[in-house]
Amino acid sequence: MEIVFGDLSLGVKKGGASYIFAYNLGGIESLEKEGNEYLYRVPSLAFWRATTDNDRGNGFSKRSALWMGADAFSDVEGYEVEIDGTEVPSASLIAPGNNELISSPLRKADSVSIVFHFRTCTAPSASVSVRYSLEEDKDGVKVDYSYKGVPGLPELPVCGLRFILPFKTESFEWDGLSGETYPDRLYGAVRGHYRTEGLPLCPYAMVQEYGMHMHTSELGIKCMNKELCIKAESDDGFSFSLLPASPMALENAYHNIDLPPQRYSYLTIAAAVRGVGGIDSWGSDVGKDAHIDSSGSYSVSFRII
């Protein structure tokens, strides 16, 4: 594969696709295949879900409100690049160091990885790393998301990575569980291959979190001639939701008709998902084993093709 050492970015060209990782923005800014761009913006850290009726009833959203800010803003602290298994110091990657790279053998490589390190905009701060790895003989780009918690923060609504795809999905299909699944609502799910036309609107009277699919091994998203595939790289798969609106937009909507017209697809890949609860009545908390303890560590690995 070909590596492009930019002044603020690392470009990779491999198998008819090209990728741009923006040092200053903390992630993959461009994923282009056959002339189509698949990313609207650099992916962001996902920490918020739109308040469910039960979240409101038991006060979860109030207790965990600071994660809404952390979802909206994140702070990239640094990045590291490895090419063919050897770390390339960031001083060599940015100017003037990259001047030496114009005639470097590193411009042709068999493998490259770039990991971005983040601090959550909370006090105290938890840390997150997102590693993107590309290998000559493997399709697409592998993403390893890892959250490392600290004591002293409230429970997490969700923990993962959110991509905005610059199109309205026509259909998506996945290998995983039927219906909508949360950690405390898995019992009825049946493993299989499922398909949804378009992006589903919120099935609940008042708009709130919806559409989570846990333990997914593969997800395919289609729009016109565009096709994106997400494959699990860990044994128990990944959790995803693919929605027509951001959690903030869902939070601010009372009804589906309050949502913005569908332009983009919001793909959240989660390392941890909170349950939805409702055990004895409105207003009681989600069962303990369906909480996300923010002092824990959570990771998810997947491949985007």
Q: Decide whether 11 or 15 has the Cβ nearer to another protein.
A: 11
Q: Does 9 bind another protein (CB under 8 A)?
A: yes
With binding defined as CB under 8 A, does residue 37 bind another protein?
yes
Indicate whether 101 belongs to the interface with another protein (CB under 8 A).
yes
State which H helix or E strand residue 174 sits in: strand 171-177
Nearer to another protein by Cβ, of 22 and 207: the residue is: 22
Q: What's phi and psi for 50, nearest 5 deg?
A: -65, 135
127-135 and 265-273: which strand pairing? Answer: unpaired
41 binds another protein (CB under 8 A): yes
Distance of CA 31 to the CA centre of its chain: 15
Site string for another protein, 156-175 (x = CB under 8 A): ----------x-x-------
Minimum distance between the CB of residue 99 and another protein, rounded to whole angstroms?
6
- Residue 108 binds another protein, judged by CB under 8 A: no
224 binds another protein (CB under 8 A): no
CA distances from 9 to 26, 90, 200 (A): 10, 11, 35
Least Å from the CB of residue 294 to another protein: 31
Q: Which residue, 299, 290, 274, 287, is CA-closest to 61? A: 274
In terms of Cα–Cα distance, which of 93, 77, 86 is closest to 113? 86
| Residue 40 binds another protein, judged by CB under 8 A | yes
Count of residues in contact with another protein, rule CB under 8 A: 34
Q: Of 70, 84, 177, which is closest to residue 119 (Cα–Cα)?
A: 70
Contacting residue, 59, 73, 91, 95, with another protein by CB under 8 A: 95
For residue 22, count other CB atoms closer than 10 A to its CB. 18
Q: Are 39 and 31 in contact (CB under 8 A)?
A: yes
Residue ranges in contact with another protein by CB under 8 A: 4-11, 18, 20-24, 29-30, 32, 36-37, 39-41, 94-96, 99, 101-102, 107, 166, 168, 261-263
